[in-house]
A and B are shown apart, each in its own frame.
Chain A
Amino acid sequence: MEILLLLAMNGLIWGLIIALIALGLSVIFGLLDIINIAHGDFFMVGTMVAWATVEASGNFWLAFLAAPLIGFVLGALIQRIVIQPIRNAAALSIVATFGLSMIMQETARLTFGAIPKRLLPPIQQTLTVFGLEYEVYRLFAAALAIAALAGFFLYLHRTKIGTWMRAVRHDRDTAIAMGIPAEKVYVLTFAIGFALAAFGGAVAAPITTVDFRGGVDILPVCFMAVIIGGLGNLPGTAAAAVLLAFMEGVIQSFADPTVARIASLVLMSAVLLIRPQGLFKGFAR
């Protein structure tokens, strides 16, 4: 029973982190019309940056800063250099992101090697929860994720640029007619998407492994959250991410994790076919 509760908590916490990453995917998909195959690798870059920063400086807080910053800059560069020129051929942008994914994975492998690395968390204590040892860092990670989520939604609704993003997502032509610089918004969106995923990577790094293939596992879950939560429905996506991870965490206690994965995928197919606007209608704007 305790194991179940523990796995459930792990799932919940992991879900919060996935929510961050999935939000990045959602804004890229919603605003730029791009199915970003490289998004899992953005997460992986975050884990790598975190590891490298800690190796170089021993300071974890630097890692939490460096990852989103580098992610932001890389995202902006990629958008300007690769994505912008091919904006008109939406289908081709999938191929571009797929190419990006391969480049990022191989570059990571070149730079950091093929062997997965363990990154020790900044907080190493454990708590006794339900009679078992529970890493305090996980709770801390959850807090970080919640803070980032809150920060993101505040930014979206309280700042001018955030409002621009929502406007362009809602109705691009009207937004442009109203003088909103759509091109800049696109660069910003992609950059923020990368930054969110990278930050998620930095936060998650001590909980999972730092591996050049780390993005491959994350990608399907993120897409599931975006689809099931509803495209363009950011709170729904966050909620779906938490729910999916929580469910998978629970199912893992009594079944093969692959079965859990298959179940989520089947659910995702059902949503796509029957209710493509997602399951969380109430949150939709």
Chain B
Amino acid sequence: MTEPVLRTDGLTKRFGGLVAVDDVNIAFESGRVHAIIGPNGAGKTTLFNIISGLQAPDAGRVFFAGQDITGLKPHQISRRGIKRTMQIKSVFPNLSVADNLWITAKAGQGFLHPFRSAASFADIQEKVDGLLEQIGLTGVAGQIAGTLAYGDMALLEIGMALVSSPKLLLLDEPICGMSPVETENTVEKIRALAKQVDIVIIEHDMEVVFGLADDITVMAQGGVLASGTPKEIGADERVREAYLGRPEDDAFDEDEAHA
């Protein structure tokens, strides 16, 4: 078996008395879309925080394509090709949409020229223009990002994650707060993306998860409850109890019918 693109080994994180991430072992293969689901407070975002370097684990290690990235600073991890979006939309509110993409594209390149005009970097400009097309935000390129509609901001975030040529994309609830149309739009984009980039997605919307993911990992109370294909997860009793066992959650049954 080839080295998984993302692997953690006994990852643990405590906040005072609370164990947010409890001895988590995951191994995600390249080329498959992975989803992490679980009730609120299950530790999913904390896991992302540790992987992206925003928080240091109390125990355990994180491996990216075989390299140990535990304890590296966020910008170092980012430069290795792991990009992520945040649960609460997080862009650069006072910069224009185009500038948001521009600086994201440039940031990974290392040296930041202090005197040369940014507009003179044709290669970056091309990339930005191309990406604006791809995510459909060409019309608002000059608008200040903080004034964007929510859906557009979420798209911008995904755009920012893309423009820097990521190897691994961590998406934290990307469709949270979107309208049905926006959701469909975004899911399409993610599906297209998945052909070029490895993606791990945290999501609550079961339709989206079961439609997108090749593998699902279920977390609860900091630990991994179960992992497997959507079918396996759907059939798993423990998962049903902990998470899916609610009458209003018809999404799973629908998928069963389609499968």
Direct A/B contact, Cβ within 8 angstroms? no
